[in-house]
């Protein structure tokens, strides 16, 4: 288990009695001038990605050997620029790394020498505000969220619906990933939502994309939404919607998907007199109608 704060990432391991003990503390080199570490964390099959905020965004690649993590690479975008947000979202397979940034997503692949090299920069075909706010890769499909795209409010729509955000699906063609689909819930699927694409999760044939219900002046809570989908080859089919509630200005909602289980968690509201407890809800995606 790897846990981050603002300056370090802490590695814990469960011992024979079931207790978690800290085994290692990971920090960036002082010479990198890092202001925040880690921004995001992702671990899979012995490789840990930990992004940081410096003059530009950067991502450290740690590999596990003899029970410890060792820093093997420091990655930046080829067109790195101040405030680029590189590494603000992370996803990976054993052979491919995907990093979200402000307006793009970057693909890195390990070459024959064992080095991670940038092979492609993903950008949308049209204007997509917030593109790169989330990324996910699994079984040859990449999804990139654009959570601020095309906001429609009750003042813009004749029926008074609210909508905002999108997610873009990229599929491999002739050795490169090309934009294939744009996902955005229809009005008849959900009448009011914003920030669609804030987080994306994929596992096998299932996809979950996070959004937020419209805040109201009458309520301190807004609806936390996870739209679920099924992959069928290159097609993506809508299933059902998992929903919960969280405090409107917190933005602290997390989501994880494994097998057919979707776990959605959020912090409690700070508007309660003594504070409200957070909670987590577990959904069986198989139970959602397709």
pLDDT tens by residue, 103-132:
999 999 999 998 999 999 999 998 899 999
The share of the chain scoring above pLDDT 90, in percent, equals 71
Q: What is the mean pLDDT of residues 50-65?
A: 96
Structure tokens at 79: 């067109």
pLDDT score at 78: 96
**pLDDT tens-digit map of 176-196:** 999 999 999 999 999 889 899
Query: Does the pLDDT of residue 82 top 50, yes or no?
Result: yes
Strand pairing category for 2-4 and 68-75: unpaired
pTM for this prediction: 0.90
Residues 6+ apart with CB under 8 A from 70: 62, 63, 64
Q: What is the mean pLDDT of residues 89-96?
A: 94
> Band of the pLDDT at 269, cuts 50, 70, 90?
low
pLDDT score at 98: 98
pLDDT score at 250: 47
> Band of the pLDDT at 285, cuts 50, 70, 90?
very high
**pLDDT tens-digit map of 216-256:** 544 555 678 899 999 988 899 999 998 865 544 445 578 89
pLDDT score at 151: 86
pLDDT score at 248: 44
Taking CA 207 as the corner, what is the angle to CA 50 and CA 5, rounded to the nearest 5 degrees? 25
pLDDT score at 224: 80
């Amino acid at each position: 288990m790897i846990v981050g704060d603002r300056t370090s990432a802490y590695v814990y391991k469960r011992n024979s009695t079931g207790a978690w003990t800290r085994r290692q503390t990971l920090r960036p080199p002082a010479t990198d001038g890092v202001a925040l570490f880690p921004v995001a964390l992702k671990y899979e099959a012995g490789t840990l990605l930990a992004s940081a905020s410096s003059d530009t965004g950067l991502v450290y690649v740690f590999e596990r050997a003899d029970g410890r993590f060792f820093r093997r690479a420091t990655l930046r975008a080829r067109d790195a620029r101040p405030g680029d947000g590189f590494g603000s979202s992370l996803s990976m397979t054993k052979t491919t790394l995907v990093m979200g940034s402000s307006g793009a997503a970057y693909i890195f692949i390990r070459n024959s020498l064992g080095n991670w090299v940038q092979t492609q920069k993903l950008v949308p075909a049209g204007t997509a505000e917030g593109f790169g706010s989330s990324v996910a890769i699994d079984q040859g499909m990449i999804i990139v969220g654009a959570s601020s795209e095309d906001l429609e409010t009750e003042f813009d729509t004749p029926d008074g619906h609210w909508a905002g955000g999108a997610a873009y699906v990229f599929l491999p063609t002739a050795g490169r990933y090309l934009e294939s689909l744009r996902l955005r819930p229809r009005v008849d699927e959900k009448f009011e939502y914003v920030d669609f694409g804030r987080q994306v999760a994929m596992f096998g044939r299932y996809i979950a994309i996070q959004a937020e219900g419209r805040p109201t002046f009458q309520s301190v809570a807004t609806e936390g939404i996870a739209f679920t989908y099924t992959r069928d080859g290159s097609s993506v089919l809508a299933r059902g919607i998992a929903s919960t509630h969280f405090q409107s200005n917190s933005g602290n909602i997390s989501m994880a998907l494994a097998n057919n289980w979707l776990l959605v968690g959020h912090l409690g509201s700070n508007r309660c007199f003594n504070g409200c407890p957070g909670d987590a809800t577990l959904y069986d995606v198989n139970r959602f109608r397709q």
